[in-house]
Every structure is written in structure tokens, then in C-alpha cells.
């Protein structure tokens, strides 16, 4: 019976007990796992504070450490967060940079090319200023007095019986053959008919006309000439003297009258210059125009050609009409027919008269002078390119043309 009972117990209780024990073991294993994991993280946080862990896991710094290393007290999170933001923000600018640089990279070479092209543009005055001989072409004035050039120029001889050319180094005694011929005739006539010693010739034009490197807005088509108001001395000036002697101003200190250098002969020579049909106008300082108005007497028909203008008290300026055979020459608006001794002269004298200094000095406003773009070949008549490119004529031929 005892054996039977023992056997029965063994058969039923043992399997139930073994299942119970197994289940308990499994449950125990599940409960222990998180505790182990927590312990592990705690250990690692204490061992390496540099790891990005919540601040609560860091031990507070000792007072000595704070003294030595003040940055220890700084909370790592605010310090690190901006850095992290920067790090995350960095790729964005890079992206935009690469995105924006892609476009300029493609566009960049074009402006560079444009800049290079701009550099290549040479002012026309440089090109014409470099020419030392006339263009071997049929003589003609091309364009306007202040925007043009000259083909087949004649050259005024440095000396004649009645003239001497000044400032020879400038090489500006070239002009349309008709002007050069007229100047020689004029000089001869003032000497022979007006009892004038002779003329000192100033600038006419460059060998091929065109804009100049220095001075003169006009004088570009070989139809303008400056003649000194200083009478020619009765001896031949040396080359050096022709460079250095300065012209005589006829202007009085009050700027509206002529001074003691003015001679009655000046009226005669200016009247003679105006008498030539081919002369379109003559430019003189307003003070000189005023003197002529006073001295002209009854014959005033010629006065209209003599025009007041700035400067022109050391020399007068003769301008010739567009000559025949120069279809490309553009005429200037004709001068008015009255003698110009009335309102116009008054207006000019008012302009040149020095103004009394103001009682209270006005604050000077510095005006930035606008830089004028120099004229290029594109600004001149197209024919001027041919004039520039033409082969040079000999000086002999150019001298011959003016006779």
C-alpha cells in the first residue's frame, strides 16, 4: 500500500512540481534583466563624463576643480546644443553655396570676357595722336569740327616770309589744304596790306585730324586754326623759343576790357580774317569782341563772324566752312547776321566779369567731376577708320598740297 501510494505520488506530483519550478526560473530571469542593464549604464556614465548623457548622471564638480577649470560649471547642454545646431546648420549654407555657386560659375566667365573686351577699347585720341604723317588719301574733312578726322592733310611750312609756326614738337600744323593755303595768304596779306609784322601760328590739327591727347575739343577735321595775338618778331625764332615763349594776353585785370598790348592793328587783322568768304567764324574773348564793337566804325558787316567765347585772349581761332569736295563734312549752325554787339555781348561780359566774393563763405560742396568716356572709333564717322589705316603720305607731298 505504502509502495503503491509512493509510486502514485511520484507519478503525479513530480511533473507538476518540475513545471512549477521551471516557470519560476523563467519569471526570475525576466525580472533580473532590466536591473542589470540599468547598472551597466550607471557605471559607464560615471566612468566617462564626456559622453553625451543627461546632466543628472554627472557628479557635481569639486570646488577646486571649479577654480582651476571654470568651464566645468558651464552646463554642457546649452554649450553643446548651439554647437550641434551649427553642425546641423552648416550643411545648409554649404548646400546653398554650392547651389548658388553653380549658377555664378556658369555666369562668371561671361563678365570676365566683357571686361577683357572693354580693356581692348582704345580711345580714338590715342590712335590719332600716334600718327605722325598724313593719310595718303584724297583731301577731305570728315565729320564735325569736334568729332571727325582729316584725310590727305596739307602741312603748313614751319616758316614763311609772313609767319612762323609755334610749338613744333606738338606736330599740329596739319590742315585741310584749303585752310593751309588760306593761312599763308592771310599772313602774307596782313603783312603787305595791314602793316602787321606777321603771324605766329598755333595749333591747326594733327596729321590725320581726330581727337587730341591734350587740349582742344575741336580742331579735328583740319578746318580750325589758332593764331597768336602776339605779333611776329622781326627775327626767326629758334626751335627752343617756339616751344617756350608764351603768348601775350590781351585781357585787362577787370576781365572785360583789353590791356595795353592791344594794338589798332589787331582790329585790322581780325577784320581781314573775317573778310574771307571761306571763313565761317572767328572766336575771341568777350573783352576783345567788345573792343572790336567800339573800334569797328561804320563798316560793321564783318563783325557778325567774330564770336565771343571763353579763353581766346592769347590767340584767336579761325574756323573755315566745309570746303567743296568734303561731302562727309558737317556744317555748324550759321552765326546770326547781326553784329553781336548788343544783348549777346552784354550777356557774355556779365559772364566773364569776376563776381565780388560773397560776404558769408558758402560751404563748398565737393562735386565729383563726371568722368567723360573718351571717344572711341565708334563715335567718329566710319570713314575715319580708313583714314587711320591708310598709308602715310610723304611730308613733301603734304607741304605741296598746301600751296
Nearest CB to Zn ion, comparing residues 305 and 377: 305
The only residue of 127, 141, 226, 401 in contact with Zn ion, by rule CB under 5 A: 226
d(CA 200, CA 196): 11
- Taking the least distance from each CB to Zn ion, the nearer of 135 and 205 is 205
DSSP symbols for 88-154: HHTHHHHHHHHHHHHHHHHHTHHHHHHHHHHHHPPPHHHHHHT--S-BSS--EEEEETTEEEEES-E
Query: Binding to Zn ion by residue 317, rule CB under 5 A?
Result: yes
Q: Is 312 in the site for Zn ion (CB under 5 A)?
A: no
By rule CB under 5 A, what count of residues binds Zn ion?
2
Q: Which candidate, 213, 221, 223, 226, places its Cα nearest to that of 375?
A: 213
C-alpha cell at position 3: 509502495
CA of 135: how far to CAs of 49, 112, 337, 392, in Å?
91, 37, 37, 5
In the window 72-101, what residues touch Zn ion (CB under 5 A)? none
Considering beta carbons, is residue 133 or 317 the nearer one to Zn ion? Answer: 317
- To Zn ion, the closest distance from the beta carbon of 106 in angstroms equals 53
Closest distance to Zn ion from the beta carbon of 346 (Å): 25
Interface characters, 1-40, with Zn ion (x: CB under 5 A): ----------------------------------------
CB of 338 to Zn ion, least distance (A): 24
CB 200 → Zn ion: shortest distance, Å?
14
Q: What is the dihedral of CA 150, 154, 160, 166, to 10 degrees?
A: 30
The whole-angstrom separation of Cα 307 and Cα 255 is: 17
Q: Which of these ranges, 72-80, 186-194, 223-231, 298-306, lies near Zn ion under the rule CB under 5 A? A: 223-231
By CB atoms closer than 10 A (0-12, 13-18, 19+), residue 304 is: middle
Instruction: Count Cα neighbours of 262 within 13 Å in the Cβ-side half-sphere.
Output: 18
CA dist., res. 250 & res. 54, Å (int): 98
User: CB of 97: closest distance to Zn ion in angstroms?
Assistant: 59
Which residue, 171 or 392, is less far from Zn ion as judged by CB? 171
Q: Contact region for Zn ion (CB under 5 A) — 77-85, 220-228, 258-266, 341-349?
A: 220-228
Q: For residues 139 and 361, what is the distance between their CA atoms, to the nearest angstrom? A: 55
- The piece of 260-268, 309-317, 331-339, 372-380 that touches Zn ion (CB under 5 A) is 309-317
Tell me whether residue 313 or residue 317 sits nearer to Zn ion (CB atom).
317
| Contact between residue 307 and residue 335 where contact means Cβ atoms under 8 Å apart | yes
Between residues 218 and 393, which has the closer beta carbon with respect to Zn ion?
218
- Residue 315 CB, nearest distance to Zn ion (Å)? 7
Closest residue by beta carbon to Zn ion = 317
The piece of 97-105, 118-126, 158-166, 312-320 that touches Zn ion (CB under 5 A) is 312-320
For the CB of residue 308, give the shortest distance to Zn ion in the complex, in Å. 14
Query: Quick one: which segment of 34-42, 111-119, 302-310, 314-322 binds Zn ion (CB under 5 A)?
Result: 314-322
- Length of the chain in terms of residues written: 403
CB of 145 vs Zn ion, minimal distance in Å: 10
Residue 280 sits in the site that holds Zn ion (CB under 5 A): no
Nearer to Zn ion, 208 or 312 (CB): 312
Kindly state the smallest distance separating residue 266's Cβ from Zn ion, in Å.
17
Kindly indicate which of the ranges 123-131, 136-144, 311-319, 330-338 contains the residues binding Zn ion, using the contact rule CB under 5 A.
311-319
What is the C-alpha separation between 392 and 373, in angstroms, rounded? 29
Judged by CB under 5 A, the chain residues 234 through 273 that form the site for Zn ion are none
**Rounded-to-integer distance, Cα 348 and Cα 307, Å:** 10
What does the DSSP assignment read for 377-394? Answer: GGGS-THHHHHHHSPBPP
Cβ distance 206 to 127 under 8 Å? no
Q: Which three cell numbers stand for residue 117?
A: 573686351
Which residues form the interface with Zn ion (CB under 5 A)?
226, 317
Amino acid at each position: 500500500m505504502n509502495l503503491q501510494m509512493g509510486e502514485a505520488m511520484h507519478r503525479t506530483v513530480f511533473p507538476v512540481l518540475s513545471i512549477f519550478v521551471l516557470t519560476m526560473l523563467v519569471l526570475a530571469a525576466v525580472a533580473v534583466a532590466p536591473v542589470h542593464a540599468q547598472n551597466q549604464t550607471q557605471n559607464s556614465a560615471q566612468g566617462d563624463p564626456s559622453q553625451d548623457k543627461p546632466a543628472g548622471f554627472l557628479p557635481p564638480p569639486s570646488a577646486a576643480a571649479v577654480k582651476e577649470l571654470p568651464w566645468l560649471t558651464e552646463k554642457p547642454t546649452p554649450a553643446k546644443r548651439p554647437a550641434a545646431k551649427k553642425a546641423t546648420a552648416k550643411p545648409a549654407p554649404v548646400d546653398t553655396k554650392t547651389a548658388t555657386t553653380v549658377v555664378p560659375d556658369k555666369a562668371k566667365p561671361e563678365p570676365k570676357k566683357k571686361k577683357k573686351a572693354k580693356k581692348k577699347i582704345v580711345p580714338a585720341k590715342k590712335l590719332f595722336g600716334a600718327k605722325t604723317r598724313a593719310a595718303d588719301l584724297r583731301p577731305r574733312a570728315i565729320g564735325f569740327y569736334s568729332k571727325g578726322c582729316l584725310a590727305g592733310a596739307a602741312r603748313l611750312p614751319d616758316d614763311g616770309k609772313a609767319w612762323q609756326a609755334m610749338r613744333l614738337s606738338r606736330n599740329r600744323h596739319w590742315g585741310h589744304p584749303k585752310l593751309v593755303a588760306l593761312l599763308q595768304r592771310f599772313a602774307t596779306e596782313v603783312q603787305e596790306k595791314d602793316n602787321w609784322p606777321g603771324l605766329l601760328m598755333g595749333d591747326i590739327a594733327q596729321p590725320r585730324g581726330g581727337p587730341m591727347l591734350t587740349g582742344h575739343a575741336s580742331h579735328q577735321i583740319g578746318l580750325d586754326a589758332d593764331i597768336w595775338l602776339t605779333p611776329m618778331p622781326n627775327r626767326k625764332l629758334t626751335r627752343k623759343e617756339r616751344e617756350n615763349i608764351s603768348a601775350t594776353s590781351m585781357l585787362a585785370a577787370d576781365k572785360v576790357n583789353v590791356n595795353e598790348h592791344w594794338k589798332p592793328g589787331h582790329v585790322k587783322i581780325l577784320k581781314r580774317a573775317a573778310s574771307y568768304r571761306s571763313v565761317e567764324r572767328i572766336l575771341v574773348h568777350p573783352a576783345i569782341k567788345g573792343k572790336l564793337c567800339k573800334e569797328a566804325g561804320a563798316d560793321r558787316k564783318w563783325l557778325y563772324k567774330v564770336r565771343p567765347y571763353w579763353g581766346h585772349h592769347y590767340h584767336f581761332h579761325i574756323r573755315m566752312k566745309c570746303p567743296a569736295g568734303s561731302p562727309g563734312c558737317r556744317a555748324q549752325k550759321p552765326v546770326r547776321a547781326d553784329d553781336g554787339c548788343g544783348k549777346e555781348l552784354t550777356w557774355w561780359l556779365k559772364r566773364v566779369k569776376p563776381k565780388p566774393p560773397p560776404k558769408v563763405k558758402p560751404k563748398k560742396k565737393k562735386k565729383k567731376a563726371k568722368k567723360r568716356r573718351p571717344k572711341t572709333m565708334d563715335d567718329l564717322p566710319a570713314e575715319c577708320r580708313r583714314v587711320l589705316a591708310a598709308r602715310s603720305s610723304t611730308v613733301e607731298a603734304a607741304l605741296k598740297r598746301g600751296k
